[in-house]
Structure 1
Amino acid sequence: MRLREVLYDQVMRLREVLYDQVMRLREVLYDQVMRLREDLHDQVMRLREVLYDQVMRLREDLHDQVMRLREVLYDQVMRLREDLHDQVMPLRED
């Protein structure tokens, strides 16, 4: 009977030790997960800023290209108008 009690006490102490270790490990893992979560959030926010800046630069570049194209097309239309005018004027004189 005494051996049984000794074994039971050892098992209970071991159980307590294991429980304490598991709880400490749980805390350590939780802290690591929270740090990783914060790091990931920081990385996502930095990436978001970088992407936003890139999108804004692309938008500006596209706007500049559209404005240049508009100028070119306007110049072409004006030249065509002048050419047409030059072709029509001699016909009116006749």
Structure 2
Amino acid sequence: MAIFRFIAKTLLSIIGYILIFLGYFIGLVAKLGGILLYVLATLFLIAALIFTFSNDFTTQNKLMMWAAAFAFSLLSMFISVLPGLMTGFGSYLVELL
């Protein structure tokens, strides 16, 4: 029973430290990527507003533009938050021991 606890603690600590490392390692790249996606989401939002109030495009094109703006916004938020989640979860796993 003691060997099982030792193996479980060792595996949890290794996974926790890997998650902490990945959270810090990916953090800078994710922040830059999140900023880039926020800029793209803003540009798509402006384009969606222009498309909405112009009569040159079909309703389907307008809805696709709004969907793209919404998707870029959600994706940029998720990418910006992901390193913090990984680091927090890794710290939690390490503190369990």
TM-score, normalised on structure 2? 0.34
Q: Which has the higher helix share?
A: 1
Higher RCO (Cα < 8 Å, 6 or more apart) = 2
